[in-house]
Amino acid sequence: MELVVLSVPDCPNVALLDEQLATLLVGRDDVQLMHRQITDLDQANREGMHGSPTMLVDGTDPFADPDATPSVSCRLFPDDRGHLRRSPSFAALTAALAPASAASPGAGGGRAAGDAAGCAALVRGNGTSAGEGDTGPRRG
């Protein structure tokens, strides 16, 4: 399985996605993870980026709405209660990364939320940034 994380430079949400992926990919020798920075709309169109970050699983964005258009804006993901988060939920990522024989459809829809420059401000402006605290199974 090939995973590609597409993002604009300095996207504040990539670190959270990377943290979740690090937990999920332990022992997964079948997964190849790459990161690509996207700097303009033409490149976003070519690469299939629907906001930053976008995660492609074997070339497909499992979280994109069917009518999503390419974007270099900040991307937020709805959870199962409709709240917007900085990355897909741990459960949604787990489903998206299931081996092909066990895969289920993605949990739907990341939304672009403004331009890339405003992405960091959007996340900083919310004292309790969406997506924090959902980094996977609890230990202890």
Domain limits for position 61: 2-125
In a domain, 137, yes or no: no
CA–CA dist 114, 38 (Å, integer) = 15
In a domain, 131, yes or no: no
Give the pTM.
0.74
Tens of pLDDT along 99-136? Answer: 754 544 444 555 554 444 445 444 444 433 344 444 44
CA–CA dist 21, 25 (Å, integer) = 6
In a domain, 103, yes or no: yes
CA–CA dist 48, 42 (Å, integer) = 10
Tens of pLDDT along 50-76? Answer: 999 999 999 999 999 989 999 999 999
What's the number of domains the chain is made of?
Answer: 1
In a domain, 40, yes or no: yes
